[in-house]
Amino acid sequence: SAVISQKPSRDICQRGTSLTIQCQVDSQVTMMFWYRQQPGQSLTLIATANQGSEATYESGFVIDKFPISRPNLTFSTLTVSNMSPEDSSIYLCSEISGQGDEQFFGPGTRLTVL
């Protein structure tokens, strides 16, 4: 499996500001995803990060709030914009090498919004 790193590992931010989270994979992967895990909750898919094109968002998530980039096959960013305390969550990126393969996850970014 690929090794996935995320930066930052955690951050505390003020409401109204934005934070960009980076996800780096050590090998080229087919697909990358971003998930949110709210406190005490399960994981919810935010979007599929498409290489060279706009991300595909799941219901309830919009590009203006969670802009995503994927400039190449090993790197993606998720921005949490105009943050509010409700955005306090763990954000995880994941990768998959092929349809039906298992997904591997990064260590997550723990975000606290005050």
Partner 1 sequence: AQSVTQPDIHITVSEGASLELRCNYSYGATPYLFWYVQSPGQGLQLLLKYFSGDTLVQGIKGFEAEFKRSQSSFNLRKPSVHWSDAAEYFCAVVPSNDYKLSFGAGTTVTVRA
User: What is the rounded CA–CA span in Å between residue 96 and residue 79?
Assistant: 21
- For partner 1, which residue of 2, 11, 24, 43 counts as binding (CB under 8 A)? 43
Is 102 a binding residue for partner 1 by CB under 8 A? The answer is yes
Give 63 or 84: the residue with its C-beta nearer to partner 1: 63
Q: What are phi and psi of 22, to 5 degrees?
A: -105, 145
Give 81 or 112: the residue with its C-beta nearer to partner 1: 112
Q: Give buried/exposed letters for 67-104 (b at 16+ CB in 10 A, else e).
A: bbbbeebbbbbbebbebeeebbbbbbbbbbbeeeeeeb
Contact 113, 85 (CB under 8 A): yes
- For partner 1, which residue of 33, 34, 66, 91 counts as binding (CB under 8 A)? 33
Is 34 a binding residue for partner 1 by CB under 8 A? The answer is no
Give Cα 49 to chain centroid, integer Å: 9
Give 17 or 41: the residue with its C-beta nearer to partner 1: 41
- Residues 53-92 close enough to bind partner 1 by CB under 8 A: 92
Is 112 a binding residue for partner 1 by CB under 8 A? The answer is no
Residues that bind partner 1 (CB under 8 A): 31, 33, 41-45, 48, 92, 94, 96, 99-100, 102-108
